Structure 1
Amino acid sequence: MTTPLNVALLGYGYAGKTFHAPLIAATPGLHLTAVLSSSPAKVHADFPAAQVHAEAAAILADPLIQLVVIATPNDTHHPLAKTALLAGKHVVVDKPFTLTVAEARELEQIAGERGLLLSVFHNRRWDADFLTVKHLIESGQLGRVAQFESHFDRFRPEVRQRWREGAGAGAGLWYDLGPHVIDQALQLFGKPQAVYADLAVRRDGGLSVDDAHVLLRYADKRVILSASMLVAGGSPRFVVHGTRASFVKYGLDTQEDMLKAGLQPGCAGWGDDPRHGELLIGTAGEPQRESVPTLTGDYRAYYGGVHAAITQGAANPVPADQAIAVMEILELALRSSEAKRELSL
């Protein structure tokens, strides 16, 4: 029998509405009870039975709420998570965890002292393309990886009027997409020795970073992380070069587009990606080319893991220490770009 947990979702903007609410609703044992939003009609159109509050205090004071999910603007993650933990709630925080490593470590300490779950929504560990790359590396089909490239590019030349593209703390592409590509790299290769970053504003009228090129230096490989708002036509999502073969994959995971289209997690075709990658096996002449079907992705694994961690003592799907490691690279890259030089971790 599945143990029920009452969940409060703080924030019903893009992240809350598109990702968190549908995934919570699709997870057995999680009940979306309350939502923090200034637009009750927007929430009730999707979840008629949910309570909607304009202030977080009313939600955090409710003894029936056991899990609080924070999907508000980045600069509010730390204060809201801290308040929720001090109120005795388990907490999930959308990426980025916080704005600084110091804030993240404080939250980890509070959660540890109170025996509460603190987890960060690094959902792209369950991307179809990433799972495929991970399998190829772990199976040894590529040999020893010498170079790994992760591109998360878009073409949005016009600056939109929203906090993610504004000039405030935690805005910009590096805070938005940086956590994704960093977390995936750390899952594959662990912490690097050093970081070199070039973070810039390239768009006309841009107010925050919209172009990022970051090099993670390891003893035996280089990892290149790239994100831009000015790449038309797309670029390879992953390019991996090893001592036996290379792998190239185009196209982003399909789950975000499915969620944006209003499809329910777990529906027919959920997490499928019809775009195959290509394995190029090195030979003395022209490389042998093989099509590699993409594995199926499933973001539902994250919230299923959260429920199991709280109710059964299972492993936290993304524990705070792993999210802190991401914040260390995120923060070091900001410093590297300012100093215009490589910095050791």
Structure 2
Amino acid sequence: MTLHCAWIGFGKSTTRYHLPYVLNRKDTLHVAHIYRRHQKPAEQEPQYQGIHFTSDLNDILNDPQVKLVVVCTHADSHFDYARQALEAGKNVLVEKPFTMTLAEARTLYELAARKGLIVTPYQNRRFDACFLTTKKVIESGKLGEIVEIESHFDYYRPEAPTNPGKPQDGMFFGLGVHTLDQIISLFGRPQHLSYDIRSLRNPANPDDTFEAQLFYGRLKAIVKTSHLVKIDYPKFIVHGTKGSFIRYGIDQQETSLKAGIMPGEPGFAANEAVGQLEYVNDAGETVREEVASETGDYGRVYDALYDAILHGKENYIRETDVLTNLEILERGFAQPSPATVALTK
């Protein structure tokens, strides 16, 4: 059985982070339509042959074969396009950030529930190799009770031309939406939050630097991004009552995609990073292990949606996780930073 899909938008998100994985799954997924307001020569590239490009959104909304619509436009149009697709009876996958506000997200979930449909964000970084490796170590139990996890996604890009925008255009919404989601997927909804959100390179721009601390009883999760880091931190640092784990290096899928190496091709996302695990076992002995990288695959988002839409399986991301993530992002700008806030249940 094939899941017929359509895209709204044909920018970098669609061409780099979605279509390469979908076109590598021809046995289960079919790209029926791509909507864009203006046609361009890229549509004639060999990998897009056989796809119907259109500037009429109704070609998607009125096609009874299309069961999944993917919204890959600027964030301020996500809500409207997703709402139209749901009202037309389509399941919907939305690029990050899911919506501009928590209220919009709740509205979409309520509409989807009334229609018996799925609406969900594209949290592809749940399937980063570095995160999957760290998750496997945590779930192994070798570290005991986790008391601290630190997640970094840093750059060294000191120049920042003036480009004013809204909070949704900054790094907390743009990248924090992913790194916060990884923590939420592991530990759920925190009780307290601490924020430090700043624009260090150019004060006229939205934030480029943030640190969020999420508190879960004894556990503290730290999520950080900066554009002024010349020497890499570990990607993940995890401490538990029985030991510690450190993992350097980010997932290489994006690196391969930027280089034109596609999923299924030799060398795609090649990742030789090795994590260092040290813990005390049940015999009281210190054990040191090297942990090979898990295989990252953003296409697993589509595998999960295929099973959810056509076979009724549980979606890969819970509604409560999505709403918690957006609430954390939104609350970050509700007061001057730095700040500490409490979340209600």
TM-score under structure 2 normalisation? 0.91
Q: Verify: 1:7 aligned to 2:8, yes or no.
A: no
Q: Whole-Å Cα distance in 1 between the matches of residues 327 and 56 of structure 2? A: 31
Distance 1:205 1:339, change over 3 A: closer
Deviation digits for residues 141-174 of structure 1 (CA, Å, limit 9, x no counterpart) = 111111110011112223368xxx6414621111
Aligned residue among 228, 231, 243 for 1:230:
228
Distance 1:160 1:80, change over 3 A: farther
SS of residue paired to 1:342: strand
Who is 2:324 aligned against? 325
Who is 2:136 aligned against? 135
Who is 2:103 aligned against? 102
Q: Is the 8 A contact 2:193 2:342 kept in 1?
A: yes
Equivalences, count:
336
Q: Whole-Å Cα distance in 2 between the matches of residues 55 and 199 of structure 1? A: 40
SS of residue paired to 1:96: coil
Q: Is the 8 A contact 1:23 1:265 kept in 2?
A: yes
Q: Whole-Å Cα distance in 2 between the matches of residues 177 and 218 of structure 1? A: 22
Q: Is the 8 A contact 1:151 1:225 kept in 2?
A: yes
Deviation digits for residues 55-96 of structure 1 (CA, Å, limit 9, x no counterpart) = 534432333432110111111111111111011111001121
Question: Following TM superposition, by how much is the alpha carbon of 1:128 offset from its aligned partner in structure 2, in angstroms?
Answer: 1.1
Who is 1:90 aligned against? 91
Who is 1:65 aligned against? 66
Deviates more, 1:267-276 or 1:293-302: 267-276
Q: Verify: 1:258 aligned to 2:256, yes or no.
A: yes
Q: Whole-Å Cα distance in 1 between the matches of residues 220 and 320 of structure 2? A: 24
In structure 1, runs of 5+ residues without a counterpart are: none
Whichever residue aligns with residue 48 of structure 1, its letter is Q
Distance 1:213 1:339, change over 3 A: closer
Aligned residue among 165, 168, 179 for 1:181:
179
Q: Whole-Å Cα distance in 2 between the matches of residues 175 and 43 of structure 1? A: 30
Q: Is the 8 A contact 1:147 1:240 kept in 2?
A: yes
Q: Is the 8 A contact 1:119 1:317 kept in 2?
A: no
Aligned residue among 337, 341, 344 for 2:342:
344
Who is 1:294 aligned against? 293
Q: Is the 8 A contact 2:188 2:321 kept in 1?
A: no
Question: Following TM superposition, by how much is the alpha carbon of 1:290 offset from its aligned partner in structure 2, in angstroms?
Answer: 3.3
Whichever residue aligns with residue 26 of structure 1, its letter is N
Q: Whole-Å Cα distance in 2 between the matches of residues 275 and 5 of structure 1? A: 35
Who is 2:80 aligned against? 79
Q: Whole-Å Cα distance in 1 between the matches of residues 226 and 73 of structure 2? A: 23
Deviation digits for residues 288-311 of structure 1 (CA, Å, limit 9, x no counterpart) = 653221111222221011111111
Who is 2:152 aligned against? 151
Alignment of 1:191-340 (within 5 A): 191-204=189-202, 206-281=204-279, 289-335=288-334, 338=336, 340=338
Q: Whole-Å Cα distance in 1 between the matches of residues 116 and 139 of structure 2? A: 34
Q: Whole-Å Cα distance in 2 between the matches of residues 125 and 217 of structure 1? A: 21
Q: Verify: 1:40 aligned to 2:40, yes or no.
A: yes
Q: Is the 8 A contact 2:277 2:291 kept in 1?
A: yes
Deviation digits for residues 155-202 of structure 1 (CA, Å, limit 9, x no counterpart) = 2223368xxx64146211111111111111011111110111111111
Q: Is the 8 A contact 2:195 2:337 kept in 1?
A: no
Whichever residue aligns with residue 318 of structure 1, its letter is I
Q: Is the 8 A contact 1:238 1:249 kept in 2?
A: yes
Deviation digits for residues 14-70 of structure 1 (CA, Å, limit 9, x no counterpart) = 211101111221223211121123343223324022222235344323334321101
Q: Whole-Å Cα distance in 1 between the matches of residues 204 and 287 of structure 2? A: 44
Q: Whole-Å Cα distance in 2 between the matches of residues 190 and 319 of structure 1? A: 10
In structure 2, runs of 5+ residues without a counterpart are: none
Whichever residue aligns with residue 33 of structure 1, its letter is A
SS of residue paired to 1:77: helix
Distance 1:205 1:42, change over 3 A: farther
RMSD over equivalenced CA pairs, Å: 2.1
Q: Is the 8 A contact 1:108 1:321 kept in 2?
A: no
Q: Whole-Å Cα distance in 1 between the matches of residues 182 and 225 of structure 2? A: 14
Q: Whole-Å Cα distance in 2 between the matches of residues 93 and 66 of structure 1? A: 14
Who is 1:22 aligned against? 20
Q: Whole-Å Cα distance in 2 between the matches of residues 334 and 105 of structure 1? A: 19
Question: Following TM superposition, by how much is the alpha carbon of 1:213 offset from its aligned partner in structure 2, in angstroms?
Answer: 0.6
TM-score under structure 1 normalisation? 0.91
Q: Is the 8 A contact 2:242 2:280 kept in 1?
A: yes
Aligned residue among 164, 169, 172 for 1:171:
169
Whichever residue aligns with residue 317 of structure 2, its letter is V
Q: Whole-Å Cα distance in 1 between the matches of residues 166 and 333 of structure 2? A: 15
Whichever residue aligns with residue 272 of structure 2, its letter is P
Q: Deviating runs (4+, > 6 A) in structure 1?
A: none
Deviates more, 1:307-316 or 1:165-174: 165-174
